[in-house]
Amino acid sequence: MDRILKAKNKVNDTSTINKHLNNFKYASRGRRGLNPPILNTDNDWWAIGQHNGLMTPLLDWTKSPFVATFFSFHSSDKSSIGKRSVFGISKTTFEIISNKIKMNYKTSSRPPIVEFIEPLSDENSRLVNQGGLFTRSPAGVDIETWMKNNFQKDYSS
């Protein structure tokens, strides 16, 4: 989602992002089965949207190095033959830093943190089977840049 918003100079345009999500919520009515679970947070909605091809601010991860390796080789892009990567991050370290940022954050808007999202909804069996989860970074900031900007800061106050 960020790449498209960057191209339109709307990376931090929360009204565009919120409208996009609300449009998906309305479009989902009556299409999630007879008795769909209630989705309580926007992140739950983003996760369902990701599963259904919606452009979202989420990045897919897995807890399994075997699943990650499978998907690194499972590509229709012929230019990537021979070029594979599997990345890992420390969820605990990211959460510690994000919690320190939240403690010092004074406004009501979403703090500039990396969130880990593990949906409880069982609507996406592939997500469950693959040990999947998501991260959500601040708008317009990729996870590598966020890490470089925040891992060396002193958050004590």
User: Which amino acid is present at 12?
Assistant: N
- At 135 the three-state DSSP class reads strand
The first and second tokens of residue 80, run together, are 């990537």
The first and second tokens of residue 139, run together, are 């708008």
Q: What is the pLDDT of residue 9?
A: 66
Helical axes 91-104 vs 143-150, angle rounded to 10°: 60
Q: What is the pLDDT of residue 73?
A: 82
Q: What is the pLDDT of residue 126?
A: 79
Q: What is the pLDDT of residue 109?
A: 83
- Phi, psi angles (nearest 5°) of residue 112: -80, 70
Distance CA 135, CA 110 (A): 14
Most distant CA pair in the chain, distance: 51
- At 134 the three-state DSSP class reads strand
User: Which amino acid is present at 39?
Assistant: L
Q: What is the pLDDT along the chain (157 residues), one digit of tens a residue?
A: 666 666 666 666 778 888 999 999 999 998 888 888 888 899 999 999 988 889 999 999 999 999 998 888 876 666 666 778 888 999 999 999 999 999 989 888 889 999 999 987 767 777 878 888 999 999 888 899 999 999 877 665 5
- At 79 the three-state DSSP class reads helix
CA quadruple 106, 141, 138, 150: dihedral sign: negative
